[in-house]
Chain A
Amino acid sequence: MSEPVLALEGLTVTFGSARGTARVVDGVDWAVHPGQTLAVVGESGSGKSMTVLSATGLAPRGAKVTGTVRLLGEELTAMSDADRRRARGRHIGFVYQDPMTSLNPVMTVGRQVSEACEEHLGMSKQEGRKRAVELLGLVGIPSPEERVDNYPHQFSGGMRQRVVIAMALANEPEVLIADEATTALDVTTQAQILELVAGLQERLGTAVVWITHDLGVVAGIADRVVVMYGGRIIEQGKVDDLFADPAHPYTQALLAARPQPGVRADRLLTIAGTPPLPTELPPGCAFWPRCPVRGDARCEHEEPPLVEVAPGHEVRSFYRADPAVTEERSA
């Protein structure tokens, strides 16, 4: 297999507070390869967004980040702030949930895309504008030579997200990081954006890290899936293995909690309680207080290690999910 584009090893992020130390991300390892899509799944507070922000040097103030991050083989974590910023700008594209966090409302979209080309690829203003028109066309904005002079407010939500993708691609990044990039969009618009990214990925060989809570989106786009809970990876594997044979009780419960198309069950299987706050993590397995399997005292006091259950399929749990639940669900 090719060298990974972005690889995390033992990434840990902590915040000190009056109530003690909060471990928001705890020992996360994953890697994404050229042309591949890695989906990072979790609910609120799982640490899925914080992992990527911290890995790329965008952690909020007060965060203590440890571990190793390699971008194209170079150790991002060992660089000076300036070098890290340069490497990030040159090799990574970001797309967030709300396009307006990335767009400047008082600047034309053309200038914004062009600026990225000038800054990271050393293009002139003229070249930058030409490239901006090309990129806006590439992401499916109709009549880009006219729209290039429009402001963000003149675009719909879906079109704004296309502009952000054009900006993210301006520097021809090796890796695209999409954090809930389609969550705020309507489902028909989401389908357009997913198709757009898949097409671009195929053409440009970009690696994609897709952070989402939506298991449907994951099933459609991912090669590999990482499931996070309470700041830790609790399961990871190839998309088919993970959906067909979820090994962690949490992954299984998450899959079972969604209504199944064509099946009108009286009741949905639920997970009791709510995801834990990073300041209130239990000492043992983070999922133990909500776990339907509820093993024993070991679960309560000892953190289970991540172990391989099948080639490339790892799970952090002393007890496996109950296969009967998965069978009943797919029956």
Chain B
Amino acid sequence: MTTTGSTESTATDVVARVTDLRVHFPVGRGSVVHAVDGVSLDVRRGETLGLVGESGSGKSTTGLALLRLVHVTSGTVEVAGQDVTTWSRRQVKPLRRRVAMVFQDPSASLDPRLTIGASIAEPLAVHGLRGSKAERRERVGELLDLVGLRPDMADRHPHEMSGGQRQRVGIARALAGEPDLLVLDEPIASLDLSVQAQIMNLLRRLQEELGLTYLFISHDLAAVEHMSDRVAVMYLGRIVETGTPEQIYRNPAHPYTAALLSAVPTADPARERERRRITLHGDIPSPVDPPSGCRFRTRCPAARPDCAEKDPDLYQVEEGHRAACLYKVEAVREMRAGADRATG
């Protein structure tokens, strides 16, 4: 069991920590989805931790577990030094003030019948933050201003706004309880390109102004690189690599990370033509029955017989950079050579 943080990180600079987290969902006939299957990570105060992975990697479920929005099968969830894993529903309520969530689709997370103002005021009332209606109204105005919307937009309904404006409302609502940590689950995925940049800039600015901590969950590798101080790559319920963006993007140590990066198209035609792509075969296996040993071995171009036997732990590549591969950087080197032969 390993954590993404260095072992010296103390309770005070860690906003949230999950340790050997497992979230399993029964899906009938005795089958169980191993959505998250042994994840440990620290989110440190003031940082953005990027959680990147493809569908079925367990990245969103990990985020939901931090708010206790899914049933934790085993492992622990700590927020601000307190173990909240087994807190009751009543106890969990104030937790959702400390940790707030922003969802992918702002139109699905806002009640269409409520005005924007009412939606933002709701968490204020729930957490008993502003006593009077007038105080709440004032705070709603402040929050709208903070996310770059005119305070008079409080009277509008979600359908009268654009997708980008609705996402700003989603962020304002999440900020209402003055949380320590924002879990941002694919916050830009459903927005137009020109609007994505606006939202990323807004999130950066809010972080600087308010000292926020982010868990930025996304399948968009370029956005994660841009936003994050540290990155964790997930595959089939596990963290397979973690490090700074420089370490992960320049020098990936896990074959999955290397393949993922080589699959991302960049807006540069010359580079695209020269690109040596490491093509993965087949699909991500079912989380109902994950492969034995290393979970990536069924698609790994550098897999060896051993990989089916041993479940690799995260090893230290260098300070702050860890990867879970039995054959360490050798595997990535081998894959790259293979891709060169194929296209060269």
Contacts and interface: CB of A to CB of B under 8 A. Distances in A.
Given A191-B277, A195-B279, A258-B193, A186 B54 contact: yes
B33 interface: no
Consensus secondary structure, chain B interface = helix
B223 interface: yes
B194 interface: yes
Contact of B267 (A188, A190, A215): A215
B221 A187 contact: yes
A81 B164 CA distance: 40
Interface in B174-217: 192-198, 200-201, 204
A195 B277 contact: yes
Q: Which of A240, A266, A274 has the most CB of B within 10 A?
A: A274
Given A216-B267, A219-B265, A261-B222, 10 more contacts: A43-B194, A187-B219, A188-B260, A191-B279, A215-B193, A216-B266, A217-B265, A261-B249, A270-B197, A270-B201
Nearest to B245: A264
A214 interface: yes
Interface residues of A, number: 49
A213 B196 CA distance: 12
A325 interface: no
Interface stretch (A55-63, A201-209, A249-257): A249-257
A31 interface: no
B284 interface: yes
Contacts of B219: 186-187
B250 interface: yes
B342 to A, nearest CB: 11
Contacts of B266: 216, 219, 261
Given A43-B193, A188-B260, A268-B197, A216 B265 contact: yes
Contact of A220 (B192, B204, B272, B283): B272
List of 6 A-B pairs having minimum Cβ-Cβ separation, nearest first: A216-B265, A259-B226, A191-B263, A186-B54, A257-B197, A220-B272
A27 B95 CA distance: 56
B267 A243 contact: yes
Q: Give the size category of B's interface with A.
A: 35 or more
B270 A257 contact: no
A189 interface: yes
Contacts of B75: none
A272 B192 CA distance: 12
A281 interface: no
A159 interface: yes
Contacts of A271: 194, 197-198
A187 B260 contact: yes
Interface string A58-87: 000000000000000000000000000000
A270 B194 contact: yes
Contact of A262 (B195, B201, B250, B267): B250
Nearest to B266: A216
B267 A269 contact: no
A239 interface: yes
A270 B198 contact: yes
B54 A275 contact: no
A154 interface: no
Contacts of A259: 200, 222-223, 225-226
A275 B194 contact: yes
B280 interface: yes
Contacts of A159: 283
Interface string A214-238: 1111111010000000000000000
Interface string A166-196: 0000000000000000000011111110110
A126 interface: no
A89 interface: no
A40 to B, nearest CB: 15
A128 to B, nearest CB: 27
Given A215-B267, A243-B267, A274 B164 contact: yes
Nearest to B262: A191
A215 B196 CA distance: 14
